[in-house]
Amino acid sequence: MTQAQYQNGPDSNGLFGQFGGRYVAETLMPLILDLSREYEAAKHDPAFAAELAYFQRDYVGRPSPLYFAQRLTEHCGGAKIYLKREELNHTGAHKINNCIGQILLARRMGKQRIIAETGAGMHGVATATVAARFGLQCVIYMGSTDIERQQANVFRMKLLGAEVIPVTAGTGTLKDAMNEALRDWVTNVQSTFYLIGTVAGPHPYPAMVRDFQAVIGKETREQLQAAEGRLPDSLVACIGGGSNAMGLFHPFLNDESVEIIGVEAAGHGIDTGKHAASLNGGRPGVLHGNRTFLLQDEDGQIIDAHSISAGLDYPGIGPEHAWLHDIGRVQYTSVTDHEALAAFHQCCRLEGIIPALESAHALAEVFKRAPTLPGDHLMVVNLSGRGDKDMQTVMHHLDLAKQETH
Amino acid sequence: MSRLHTRFNELKAHNRAALVTFVTSGDPDYDTSLAILKGLPDAGADVIELGMPFTDPMADGPAIQLANIRALAAKQTLAKTLQMVRDFRVGNATTPLVLMGYYNPIHSYGVERFIAEASEAGVDGLIVVDLPPEHNGELCDPAQAAGLDFIRLTTPTTDDNRLPTVLTGSSGFVYYVSVAGVTGAGAATAEHVSDALARLRRHTDLPISVGFGIRTPEQAAAIARLAEGVVVGSALVDQIAKANHPGEAVEGVLGLCRQLAEGVRKARVSAG
């Protein structure tokens, strides 16, 4: 092969290599096939593109800046570090990029009711936001553990008019919320649009969410071209389901000079078993509509993920990431809760930016990697969300740290 | 000739519907679950569906979710479920038994190994909720090649365009999910079921069993007048949930099974 072909997936069955597919109950199949057709039509409709571009610009606030992080760069003493400022988007994270796209599709399909799952609450807030904007009924499923640690976001969703339904099954985190959202969808399939927040689930969701998030990478490409006159040397992003990472990575996949690094959440450490690193600590299986890498025991039962960051607390990963891992195009590494917290504090003090704990995982990788690289190495990090939602969690950990030193 | 085929033919000759019962294997524990399984044929179950527990039963309502949690807490595994079928077959050679569940535990066990061991154990068919016909190559085709029936779910959303796709490769019987929803949700009207069956029969000669939301002997009788099979799951599983001790669980399930069987057996007589 002379020209790399990493951007062509998935095939018509929604497969990226052996990953992806449509593993769902029959009740949902006709609707999922319908969604595939509608999305294909919308993708080729200039009116849809124009409407999407309008809302991206005037409602979300795109393009988001590509910011040269001078102090971070000086501190690391190596690679030249740029931050893609997705945390400056309306609602404070990259999630809104996908929500705007899907809500326009839902409207096109005549759906009156929107449901979504949420972990940290950022996708829930973004969904509640666009549902409010278009006057649609909105129901958000959220694990009870996550509700506890993300109360501010729960309140935001309610302010925006969404109903937030706590899910107590399992460990009350993102996986359980997704099960419950799927149950709702199966029950209300004709009236309801399921607005999935990440590049996972049955086809066409992984490809569709990627396409809506790819604006991140497309802008980055143009912005870095303007600033430096060339492509980046490396890209770094955190991965739960993997939508912010896929959005940044996808437009660069065929540029083989660009090193691409995805950062999973290692929680307490991969060897402790308390982590959320599906690629580094899991194996292939089938859950939530797709074949991908999963945290599972020897009997194929799903193991609960652990991460300090609710947004990464998921035992699976988008199937395109599983494929990119399998073929070796993207390198997937992991950082622990502790490393992410340290990076969180460094980013606050060095750049005056409070990052989401999710994004702090990507920053932790930057702190490891950048110092070893030359000054002309251009590194772009996706600052996927802001950290306001994480104040409670960070305060709790500061208290714990204080107690340990006394 | 498969046990399912034989059983549905026998019942057709007797002009009555099959009572198809669902319980989750290992719920609330292996021994109690096996006692229930062994008692079901004498309590009037014509076909047995045995659930393979999974941590994330996305198409199930609260009753069967809890059954899965109880079984997994009691350390039920897929290997033990296959062992339970072997134990059941020691005393029963005729009642058809279908394993029902989700794909991942089978995927993890290894499809080839699972099919070989299930056939050897005396399993007659499989229902795998999250494997639509688009993925037939993975399990449905090799299972049928090994002589296992593959039972498809059809639903109110499966329209005429899609039915041939769904029915291709179906064998044993067709399971009509009468309401769009999770297991244990509200029941469909007799009129809806009647219309749906007429539509399905234009596409298949296989016996059709109707499930979802059927809880009482009266409801079972109403469906038994229309379909070749009546599936009851959540109502039986609820008997295990509310039992105070294993003996009560066994008697609760079998007692309800007897009542349902009576409803099913009288249905066409009283109607005709």
Give the pLDDT confidence of A350-393 residue by residue, as tens digits: 999 999 999 999 999 999 999 999 999 999 999 999 999 899 88
Torsion-angle region of A141 (φ positive above 0: left; ψ -120 to 50: alpha; else: beta): beta
Q: Residue A1: its pLDDT value, please?
A: 45
> Do B237 and B23 touch, CB atoms closer than 8 A?
yes
Q: What is the DSSP letter of A309?
A: S
CA–CA distance, A370 with A350 (Å, rounded to integer): 15
Quick one: closest CA in B to A287, which residue? B104
Q: Which tokens in the block code for residue A302?
A: 């799903």
Q: Which tokens in the block code for residue B126?
A: 């499989």
pLDDT at residue A300 tops 60: yes
What distance in Å separates residue B268's CA from the closest CA in chain A? Answer: 30
Quick one: closest CA in B to A191, which residue? B180
Q: Which tokens in the block code for residue A57?
A: 């610009």
Q: Residue A324: its pLDDT value, please?
A: 98
On whether any CB of chain B is under 8 Å from the CB of A13, the answer is yes
Class of domain B3-271: alpha beta
Q: Residue A398: its pLDDT value, please?
A: 86
> Do A241 and A285 touch, CB atoms closer than 8 A?
no
Read off the pLDDT band of A119 (50, 70, 90). Answer: confident
CA distances from B127 to A26, A184, A265 (A): 12, 22, 36
> Do A280 and A266 touch, CB atoms closer than 8 A?
yes
B169 Cβ partners below 8 Å, 6+ apart? B133, B136, B140, B141, B144, B150, B152
Can you tell me which residue has the tokens 């991206």?
Answer: A56
Query: Which residues of B are known catalytic residues?
Result: 49, 60
pLDDT at residue A2 tops 60: no
Q: What is the pLDDT of residues A190-243, one digit of tens each?
A: 999 999 999 999 999 999 999 999 999 999 999 999 999 999 999 999 999 999
The ranges of chain B with pLDDT < 50 are: 271-272
Instruction: Tell which A residues from 30 to 49 touch B, by Cβ distance under 8 Å.
Output: 30-31, 33
CA–CA distance, B191 with B232 (Å, rounded to integer): 19
Domain boundaries, chain B: 3-271
Nearest to A299 among B108, B155, B166 (CB): B108
